[in-house]
């Protein structure tokens, strides 16, 4: 009897420890909300008709500057267009532009960083000096310079923002490649007769991309913010495109009597950017 009673506390403690371990593996609330926000934003961009039946570009007669109501949840603008519908349809432009920008930065930055870190020597010196020049110029100013060359428009802004992000990706990839290149398995691959191109493709590049892809997720929020800022300045998609930055710019003239024209597009931009940053920090091993 004494043996059974002495084992009872130990047996009862095991479920409590397992419950604690299970609780530690749960997704943090903030991260879960961020993922949900990004998932909703993707749905808005892909299937806007599921969320609103109003047109994003056609106004309604007699509905100009209506306050938020049951008919128009976020009010209407100076042309009678539903603000909620314009925000929903605008998600496509903000997210697609950010995806293009991150794709350009990731692709070209990875190529430059891979060549600089793997080849080294004079190639590394030349490429990194070009990267240093790009990093020395403020990103917004550099984006404006490329927009002057490429022209105005949604696609041009996305490309310009993507070009400005090449330097940060290149530096990160170079750092990762130089670390991986000194690994034992890479030396073993060279020692077993592997060619430079084969070792680079099979060993160095795949093992260098984990941190880079996580950084790409973090850059998504930055790209959305940059595209919205350029749209606000008038360099992005032309009217009546429902782009979030452009909506904020168009509504600033009516702040005194129609605050919803700037507040709601601004909130949409802020929420999506914060959600993307939260997910990016989690992927890069940031604090919870």
Q: Is residue 152 over pLDDT 60?
A: yes
**Measured between alpha carbons, how far is 60 from 189 in angstroms, rounded to an integer?**
68
pLDDT digits (tens, 9 = 90+) for 111-140: 999 999 888 889 899 999 999 999 999 998
CB distance 177 to 208 below 8 Å: yes
Rounded to the nearest angstrom, the gap between the alpha carbon of residue 211 and the centroid of all alpha carbons in its chain is 15
pLDDT interval class at 198 (50, 70, 90): confident
pLDDT for 287 equals 42
CA separation for the pair 41, 108 (Å, rounded): 27
Q: Is the pLDDT of residue 5 over 80?
A: no
What are the residues whose beta carbons fall under 8 Å from the beta carbon of 113, sequence distance 6 or more?
169, 170, 171, 172, 173, 174, 175, 176, 177
If pLDDT is split at 50, 70 and 90, which confidence band does 15 have? low
Q: What percent of the chain has pLDDT over 90?
A: 56
Domain ranges of the chain: 30-283
**DSSP structure class, residue 164:** H
**pLDDT > 70: what percent of the chain?**
90
Q: For domain 30-283, is the CATH number 1.10.3720.10? A: yes
Query: For 29-48, b where at least 16 C-beta lie within 10 A, e where not — what string?
Result: eebeebeebbeebeebbeeb
The DSSP output letter for 25 is: T
The pLDDT, as a whole number, for residue 17 is 52
- Digit-coded pLDDT (tens) for 236-258: 888 889 999 999 999 988 988 99
Of the candidate ranges 119-128, 151-160, 190-199, the one whose mean pLDDT is the lowest: 190-199
Instruction: Give the per-residue pLDDT at 142.
Output: 93
Collapsing DSSP states into helix, strand and coil, what is residue 76?
strand
């Amino acid at each position: 009897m004494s043996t059974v009673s002495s084992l009872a506390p130990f047996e009862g403690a095991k479920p409590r420890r397992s419950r604690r371990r299970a609780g530690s593996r749960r997704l943090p609330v903030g991260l879960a909300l961020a993922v949900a926000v990004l998932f909703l934003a993707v749905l808005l961009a892909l299937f806007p008709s599921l969320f609103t039946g109003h047109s994003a570009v056609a106004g309604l007669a007699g509905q100009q500057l209506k306050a938020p109501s049951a008919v128009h949840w976020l009010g209407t603008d100076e042309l009678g267009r539903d603000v909620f519908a314009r925000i929903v349809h605008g998600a496509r432009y903000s997210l697609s532009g950010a995806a293009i920008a991150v794709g350009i930065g990731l692709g070209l930055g990875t190529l430059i960083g891979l060549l600089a870190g793997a080849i080294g020597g004079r190639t590394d010196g030349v490429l990194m000096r070009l990267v240093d020049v790009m990093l020395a110029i403020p990103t917004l100013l550099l984006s404006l310079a490329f927009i002057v060359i490429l022209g105005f428009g949604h696609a041009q802004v996305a490309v310009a923002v993507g070009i400005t992000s090449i330097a940060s990706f290149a530096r990160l990839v170079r750092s990762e490649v130089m670390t991986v290149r000194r690994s034992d398995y890479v030396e073993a691959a060279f020692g077993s007769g592997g060619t430079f191109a084969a070792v680079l493709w099979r060993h160095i590049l795949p093992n260098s991309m984990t941190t880079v892809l996580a950084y790409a997720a973090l850059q998504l929020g930055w790209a959305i913010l940059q595209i919205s800022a350029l749209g606000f300045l008038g360099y992005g998609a032309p009217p009546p495109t429902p782009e979030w930055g452009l909506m904020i710019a168009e509504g600033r003239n009516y702040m005194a009597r129609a605050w919803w024209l700037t507040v709601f597009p601004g909130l949409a931009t802020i929420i999506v950017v914060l959600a993307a940053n939260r997910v990016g920090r989690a992927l890069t091993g940031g604090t919870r």
